[in-house]
């Protein structure tokens, strides 16, 4: 039953924003729900990865009580990579595509990005009730910035997926 609930939430997060647009007769591109790769997105993605993952890797390697990087077997890497990529698509569609766009109608871009990132981080506590998962607020800011800057969820989704891939080896585990 628990897996059924997770699949239901994932379906709602992925398809809900598209249904919203259909019912309201709105163009999904207003919500960044087009998989476009705007000019400059590659440069910004690389910059965001360098600015965030290099310092985070250094921090992770010196995290108390952890031996990082991990050395998972190839099967584990494959499963976690698929799971992380799927989560990136679903979460970016919902949070940066839909929530951030709705907030942006009433708030400044900075406030919409920050509030969306806060909701994104808080939602991680539902699945992982450990305070360290609130740190997802910070990559949420980067993904929100990419969405705001490029009008598409594609750059933030790739950033999210690559961040999830990085986490396989370097995210300090509270478990």
35 vs 143: which has the higher pLDDT: 143
- Answer whether 99's CB lies under 8 Å from 114's CB: no
Q: What is the largest CA-CA distance in the chain?
A: 53
Q: Is 152 exposed, middle or buried (0-12, 13-18, 19+ CB in 10 A)?
A: buried
What pLDDT is attached to residue 155? 98
Per-residue pLDDT tens over the stretch 53-81: 999 999 999 999 888 899 999 999 999 99
Nearest to 97 by CA among 170, 18, 40: 18
User: What string of H, E and C letters represents the secondary structure of 81-113?
Assistant: HHHHHHHHHHHHHHHHHHHHHHHHCCCCHHHHH
Residue 174 pLDDT > 80, yes or no?
no
């Amino acid at each position: 039953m628990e897996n059924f609930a997770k699949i239901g939430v994932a379906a709602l997060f992925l398809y809900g924003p598209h249904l919203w647009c259909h019912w309201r007769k709105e163009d999904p591109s207003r919500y960044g729900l087009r998989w476009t790769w705007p000019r400059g997105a590659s440069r910004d993605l690389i910059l965001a990865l360098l600015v965030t993952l290099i310092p985070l890797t250094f921090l992770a390697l010196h995290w108390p009580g952890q031996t990082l990087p991990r050395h998972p077997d190839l099967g584990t890497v494959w499963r976690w990579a698929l799971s992380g990529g799927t989560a990136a698509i679903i979460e970016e569609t919902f949070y940066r595509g839909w929530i951030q766009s709705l907030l942006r109608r009433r708030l400044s871009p900075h406030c919409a990005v920050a509030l969306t990132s806060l909701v994104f981080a808080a939602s991680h506590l539902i699945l992982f009730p450990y305070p360290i998962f609130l740190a997802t607020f910070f990559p949420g800011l980067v993904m929100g910035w990419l969405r705001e800057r490029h009008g598409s969820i594609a750059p933030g989704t790739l950033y999210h997926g690559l961040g999830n891939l990085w986490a396989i080896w370097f995210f300090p585990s509270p478990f």
